[in-house]
Amino acid sequence: MVLILGSGVFSHLISKDYAIAGERPEIVLSSKILLAIAYTLSAWMTFVFWDELKQKFNHVCVLWIALLVWTFISVVFGQFNFSSLIRLLGFVGCTFMGVMLYANTQNVRQVINYLFWTCAFIVVLNFVYIDWSVLTSLRSKNIDGVFFQKNMLGHFAFMAMFISGFVIASNTNIMRWGALIVFIAAAWLLYLSTSMTSNLLIVVALLSIAGSLIISRYQKGWLVITASVVMLSLLLLFNWTEFFSLIGKNTTFTSRTSIWTEYWALIEQRIFIGHGYGAYPEKLSTWLRLGFHSGYIATMYYLGVIGAAIMLFLIVSAVKSWWNIVRRAGFMFEACFLIGFISLLLMLNVTESYFFNRSGLVWPLFVYATLQLTFLSKLVKKKA
């Protein structure tokens, strides 16, 4: 399992020094081969555990099938070419990684441990790769490590902190101390990757873990967390310009609004069916060359209103399942980990695009989280 996840993650670790400046195309090739192996093994293991998957089949599985079908349709009626078909196969393969996790794992804690060891490996890889003088300097910023760019390193470290926090809470002895070390190391990588934003994400990771654990351990804990989130949201709403200044940003999200404006003009041309998964604008302006920088803009551009509606149904279904679990006080730890991850993913997609990825940890875990929350909700209802 770790080999499959590790292969998928390693394919995402294409450093600019190797792939571009260093002129090492074999690194890119080996990464793509590993990703193909991850796709193939995931599909094969899903087939092997087909009986288990049929027993766990639920309405969210139908939504995922609908999303895959619509993604295929969007390519056929959108930017249909060989490259888009290859990207579509990659997306299907990465989705199968999440289905594989759902089909052949016994419980959420097992998945958390698999993810933790994968994250630990990538954290160690970054510490080995980054020059020691850079690694130990408080002045170092905008470090990308083995990733393609600094935001990818920062957000990976952010997720590694989140996963390590739950390992600390659910294990004892050596495992707990190991998770603590990984947590601190990931926080340091996050600090090095960006500017003031990294400090904010460290706080968000800590608050997310604390909030999830409070909800999972105290029956009325969700009331305290909900009230706190509402109060914090209101404070940010009425002081958002000052907040952006505090973290070194501006109200244009460092010029991302210009990118979103140009992409939205393209979205309006095919607002219902989209331009097709993996499609590129025919004419690339200065802003369009920078990419979507928003998972929500990417979803609308690729799949249109119909694809976005399916995604919305998946997220709403996950939240509804989480609420059913919390209300009946069953599988609280597991449910809070899964909904915590989904919440953080929704937050990260405001300024970066992590929906519909073809590699990495994020998309497979999102697929798994939506499926597993519905499954746990059904189990809780049966026990009640």
Can you tell me which residue has the tokens 């302006």?
285
Radius of gyration of the chain (CA): 20
Burial of 51 (0-12, 13-18, 19+ CB in 10 A): exposed
pLDDT of residue 21: 39
pLDDT of residue 377: 92
Other Cβ atoms less than 10 A from the Cβ of 66: the count is: 16
Coil vs helix vs strand at 255: coil
pLDDT of residue 305: 95
pLDDT of residue 2: 55
pLDDT of residue 19: 40
CA distance linking residue 18 with residue 319, whole number of Å: 41
pLDDT of residue 381: 84
pLDDT in tens, the chain (384 residues): 555 555 555 555 544 444 433 445 555 666 677 777 777 888 888 888 888 888 888 899 999 999 999 999 999 988 888 888 888 888 888 898 889 889 888 889 888 888 888 888 888 888 887 888 888 887 777 787 777 677 778 888 888 988 998 888 876 677 888 898 999 999 888 888 875 556 667 777 777 777 777 776 766 666 666 666 666 666 656 665 655 555 555 566 667 888 889 999 999 999 999 999 988 887 777 778 888 888 999 999 999 999 999 999 999 999 999 989 888 877 888 888 999 899 889 888 888 888 988 777 888 899 999 999 999 999 988 876
Q: Report residue 189 as tokens.
A: 């990588």
pLDDT of residue 298: 93
pLDDT of residue 257: 84
Half-sphere exposure (Cβ direction) of 152: Cα atoms closer than 13 Å: 21
pLDDT of residue 296: 94
List of residues 6+ apart from 295 with CB closer than 8 A: 348, 349, 350, 352, 353, 354, 355, 356
CA distance linking residue 340 with residue 159, whole number of Å: 11
Closest CA to 291 of 149, 192, 154: 149
Closest CA to 304 of 65, 62, 91, 67: 67
**Which ranges constitute the DSSP H helices of 250-328?**
256-267, 295-328
pLDDT of residue 232: 63
Coil vs helix vs strand at 280: coil
